[in-house]
Structures are given as structure tokens and as C-alpha cells.
Amino acid sequence: MEAANLGAAKAKGKSVGLHIELPNEQQPNKYANLRLSFKYFFIRKVMFVKYAVAYIIMPGGFGTLDELFESLTLIQTKRIRHFPVILVGSSYWGGLIDWIKEVLIREKTIAASDLDIFRVVESPKEAVDIIKRRVVI
């Protein structure tokens, strides 16, 4: 999230930081114009999906994977509207996507068409182009 807030700050835009309060974790990042703190993950995730027009997913850890799969599940089950979910960096995400294709689709725990819920791009420009095609700004 810090990278997105930093990018918005450099572009003189406005951004919101949704901080989770954890005992041994980082402080809210300094680049967000508006900072909201949450004690519970599920409330933070509700805020993500309620106001999102797209998700740009950068390389990350368990929290990133949790938020990625939460968004894919909600879109797949039609609990939220379908908005662009964009993963940046095929070298980072490729192994996970291969596993999804080789295991989840083979085992029929998801449909092959579920791969259409997200896109993988290599550059910020590609991500912006996808969002601009889908969202009226």
C-alpha cells in the first residue's frame, strides 16, 4: 500500500491508507493523505472492496495473498461487482498462476474461466491502461 500512496503523492494526487493495527508491525505510511486504522482484518477488507475501482497487486506476502484471493473469491461468487484485479510482475506471480492452472483447474476446484478474473502485467502503464478501459475517471 505504501508504494501506491507514494505514487499518488509524487503525482500530487490524493490517497487513502488503510492501516491494520498489529502488535509487531509497521506504522501507517507517511504518504497517505487520509489514514484509517483498523483492528480487524475483515473490516479493513470490507473498506477495500467497497470503494475500490481496481486492485493493483504488487509482490507481497501472506497479507497480499489474502487480499488477492479475497477479491477473486468475491468477484467469482458475484458478491461484489467485477473490477480489474491486476497482478504486476509475471516473474513473481508466474509460479502461483502455474499452480492454479495445474492444480486448481485440474482438480476442478475452480473453472478455467476464473482465470479471466485477473490479469498479469509487467508495467504500471499496462495496469493504468486496463483501468482506464474499464473505469470512467
pLDDT tens for residues 66-112? 999 999 999 999 999 999 999 999 999 999 999 999 999 999 999 99
pLDDT at 63: 86
Mean of pLDDT over the chain: 90
pLDDT at 8: 83
Domain that holds residue 22: 1-39
The answer as to whether 64 is a domain residue is: yes
Residues 134 and 74 in one domain: yes
Q: What is the pTM of this model?
A: 0.84
CATH code assigned at 58: 3.40.50.450
Residues 27 and 64 in one domain: no
Total number of domains in the chain? 2
Q: Is the per-residue pLDDT at 137 higher than 60?
A: no
Q: Is the per-residue pLDDT at 9 higher than 70?
A: yes
pLDDT at 18: 87
Comparing 14-28, 38-52, 100-114, the range with the smallest average pLDDT is 14-28
Say which residue, 13 or 90, is predicted with more confidence: 90
DSSP per-residue string spanning the chain: -HHHHHHHHHTT---EEEEE--TTSPPPPTT-SEEEEESSHHHHHHHHHHH-S-EEE-S--HHHHHHHHHHHHHHHTTSS----EEEE-HHHHHHHHHHIIIIIITTTSS-GGGGGGEEEESSHHHHHHHHHHH---
pLDDT at 66: 92
